[in-house]
A and B are shown apart, each in its own frame.
Chain A
Amino acid sequence: MTSLPPPTPKKLGLVIDLDTCVGCQACATSCKEWNTQGYSAPLTDTNPYSADPTGVWLNRVHGYEVKEPGQEHSRIVNFPRSCLHCEEPACVTVCPTGASYKRAEDGIVLVNPETCIGCKLCSWACPYGAREYDQSHGVMKKCTLCVDRIYNENFEPEDRLPACVKACPTGARHFGDLGDATSEVSLLVAERGGYDLLPQMGYKPVNKYLPPRARRDATNTRAEALPKPDGSAFDRLFQWADKVLSPKNASARANEIDNSGKLEG
């Protein structure tokens, strides 16, 4: 049934912290590893050992460069991108077969690989590029929010998390119920100003992104971090040593802070 269920009270999803993500790709690789054997498996690769390997991945980590006004250097923001399990996902309503559906009990958006005809229309309807077509199986693949882990009673309770969340070494990925205003993830979103991707599209994503924190000016902090001479006996000893050891023409600059980053020749 591709008509949407009534608004689900439970909205399971991810909160992704763009401040702490280091772009290590652990979430992407652990997603690939889990989901190539789980629901809707495998996640096929084509030419995996040749010069041009391609494959189906449910999670991709982009890198963006942000040039902030007044800052000399750009900052890099690592940006994991996967299905946002939207509240109003057009990828579901456009599906002609009912293979694409949103679960009434927890809001997870899934594809039934047994009934998908591989028309690809759902991938056209997604603004976030979350769906990838599996050429070798002729069906669409997407993030399942590890539906086969989070309710899996064969796992210890602490392992009942999406593989990406479990793998993240910096704790940049959080999983929980965003429909519950008192849940840890909802409080985190409220505290850090979590936001929706492309709210203009009207899909009402459940997943939220936490913005990078404000940054100190790197050009100033570097100068401040260096110790200043205080005229003590130790300082004078080191200044003398520096003078003796430095080439003659460089001695005049021995106590200056060099911000150029160049090595003296």
Chain B
Amino acid sequence: MHPAYSVILFTTASGAGYGLLTLLALVGISHGEASTLVFGLTSMVIALGLITIGLLASTFHLGHPERAWRALSQWRSSWLSREGVLAIVTYVPALLFGVVWSGLHPAPDLIKPLAVVTGVLALLTVMSTGKIYATLKTIRAWHNPWTVWVYLAFALATGAVILAAITSIFGNFPTFLVYFSCAWLIVAIIVKLFYWRSIDAAPRDLTMGDATGLGGLGKVGQWELPHSVPNYVQKEMGYAVARKHAAKLRKLVIAALVLAVLLMLAALAVPYAAVLSMALALFASVVQRWLFFAEAQHVVTLFYGAEAA
């Protein structure tokens, strides 16, 4: 599948934003009001800023961005529509939570209920992003039980390292947060490795003979393409990264995440190492999301010469 940069930016940025928002809600539930107003506001602005940048980026790949509001109408059947609705709805409790939790307008009794609603809606939004891909039967590498977990794990892992980086800058960096973000980075590594193992093990058992229905006659091969220049279907669905590059990039993702864990541990001694850890984790998140597209083969490629899918 063709990796559209706006979609990669959207899913990684808004994923990190929703992960951070969920963790801030957790902080609100466990610690009550933010330690300082500036810290509270800064972290809320970063969370909602990432989400908003992501949502705006997602409209860049639309043919008609001015009609984007229409995407909120079909939540009964479409996960993309559900994602849009949840993304918009989440702003309401998130903004209220931000105002109350940061201390801008203190109301200690409201922190917990708003935090619970914000956290649940944020996670549901990330889940529906994953579901958009996981429900496409045409793409074996996406139609996989691990897909949604990968989206959730990377949202929380990148959210956790961003929270650690912010607190390291504000000087209120608790030791617990180091171990907490390390744990989420490790969860992301494990979930991604399981995802890769799963898609590598899935049999590519459909052939050109199955697609054309001519397989019963004999061995089917491509004789002539219907057009002389690649068409939309080939450009959009036919994109494939070379297997050897994919293997290298997978190693790069894991190496960057492992290094992010080590740097986070180093933050126990030198707090600013958390910022470097965050940069590496975000880099890994973008690369794995690019691979998520580039490695995925669409079943329509069978009509265009792929031997199996």
Contact = CB atoms under 8 A, between A and B. Distances in A.
A124 B224 CA distance: 24
A133 B77 contact: no
B201 interface: no
Range of interface residues on chain B?
35 or more
B48 interface: no
Interface string B293-309: 00000111001100000
Interface residues of A, number: 69
A212 B217 contact: yes
B74 A132 contact: no
Interface in B199-234: 206, 208, 210-214, 216-227, 229-233
A197 B212 contact: yes
Interface stretch (B109-117, B135-143, B156-164, B241-249): B135-143
A223 interface: no
B214 A133 contact: no
A65 interface: yes
A79 interface: yes
A132 B71 contact: no
Nearest to A215: B217
Interface stretch (B60-68, B147-155, B278-286): B60-68
Contact of A129 (B78, B221, B233): B233
Contacts of A200: 206, 210
A89 B160 CA distance: 40
B74 A2 contact: yes
A121 B80 contact: yes
B221 A65 contact: yes
Given A99-B70, A132-B232, A119 B220 contact: no
Contacts of A99: 70
B1 interface: yes
Contact of A64 (B64, B138, B208): B208
Interface in B229-273: 229-233, 236-237
A69 B73 contact: no
B84 interface: yes
Interface of A: 1-4, 18, 23, 28, 52-54, 56-57, 60-69, 71, 74-77, 79, 81, 90, 92-99, 115-121, 123-129, 132-135, 137-139, 195-198, 200-202, 209, 211-212
Which 9 pairs, one residue from A and one from B, show the smallest C-beta to C-beta distance?
A118-B63, A138-B63, A63-B224, A60-B226, A96-B81, A68-B218, A96-B71, A97-B70, A65-B223
Given A61-B226, A117-B64, A121-B132, 6 more contacts: A62-B222, A66-B220, A92-B77, A94-B132, A96-B73, A201-B299
